[in-house]
Chains A and B, each alone.
Chain A
């Protein structure tokens, strides 16, 4: 027996502030983006996944890059950042956050990120960024190179990031941080959690309701232990995080997104502001605006294999007629979907929901069909009056 998928071992791995807790909980630690991270705990990926959808799970995502961008005021800072991302940052309200992408001049995605405007008027001209672990060095260099000298990028090296995800997350947070439960999806505030200063947002990467908590490294362990003391909370690792985001139809950088892929191809046009589409003026705007007008050549789709065999990253996708039309970018077993799930890119004409395709797994074409994403419905807790750009 041999595993086909091997995790490359890094040289010197960084540890998150929760490292000792992971080891104590019996996690299987693996190298990931230069960090030693928990892949799973004794409950196992399947159990952790289902627990997240049923109750609440705590994820250590401290490997992700956090930074503040600081400028003279919101308008000038937003204007500068808007040259590099297609989202409407100017219209971002205080305490609101937005998902966007750092784009290169060809409209390819350097990284995807969450941008949060501080809730406090005293911090006007400050944006909090969360970027991918494996991309933070590239991102920060890109920002420094392309933003004027009067805008300061301050990476938050000593800041942990925890995610509490699941339908019970709000109830759990409310015990120690009543303000958290009052946030709506994609909102954030500086709050106290059992006396600990932290920055809480209602967001996540599982499709469930949940929170991300940015906290000083020195306080992270106490905060994590407090959350885990709640009967509804289990710890969950990177394995469950990946199967949860895949079922939720969310993109993973390096799988669905890379420097050749545009946000329009990736099905992320919803994150491109209306004003931005009209005005352009961001890196890659020529390609993005053309794809918005004429449709992209290829599109990201969900694919449900019909047999039991998962079709993993790199699997070739064939049309009903047998010609190659694309590749799977993420695939595996969806514990809540209770079957194999894949995402990939196909030529746009083949991307209609319901269309039959074949997936070549171990040399054999197997039946599958295009499905609407997500595989498992999102359960975000949105504001009553939805303001999306």
Chain B
């Protein structure tokens, strides 16, 4: 402790002296000092880059030798220098980092033990059409009882039902996460579709939508007659992002019964809504 303190005071007084000197020096000398510092920084940067390239090279060689290697032994005795141990550790580190990253991407989960190992923190990714959207997190206590301590899952997702005693959370954790992830991803998908409708189709008016994005009422206009068509999409299955029911109302009472509009309803049931609308507009069915 004392040595640290005395060392610190030496450094501080040295710094003080430098500052004083600098203040006394003519401007040109300042310029030289600046340049010196710049050169020093550049040398450091160059050395770092060189080291990165070298390490990258050595690690790549090691990986190519044995991509599946999991032991960290250094082969024959002569090769067991500290540096080679370090290189091997770096190789494994790089592999593990890639593996973890890949697992996060493919599973959509990120699980970390919370401090003292009392629980886990799970973060669930949502994505729609390859775009990663919001993440939701749950903090789950393992001891003394398995329970969800905190979370930011939207209230309309039936988390309580999934986490009820004897439910999936207790019997099959993997299944629990699977189901929860399906609910969240379907919600994210519906929400994203609604966003895309608003962005891409200004001629279509969103009359009504709700928080879980399970009901969507759209007003469209027929191009020639300027007749309004009200279209209601009901997404009653919370793990899907396509509607279960599509109904059409219009001033022209016969319109919903026409073959064309029955086909349009089928299209809206089978295709994401923003794409279905794009196709209707393209074909001149609506404005």
Q: Do chains A and B interact in one complex?
A: no
B: residues with CB less than 8 A from A are none
A: residues with CB less than 8 A from B are none
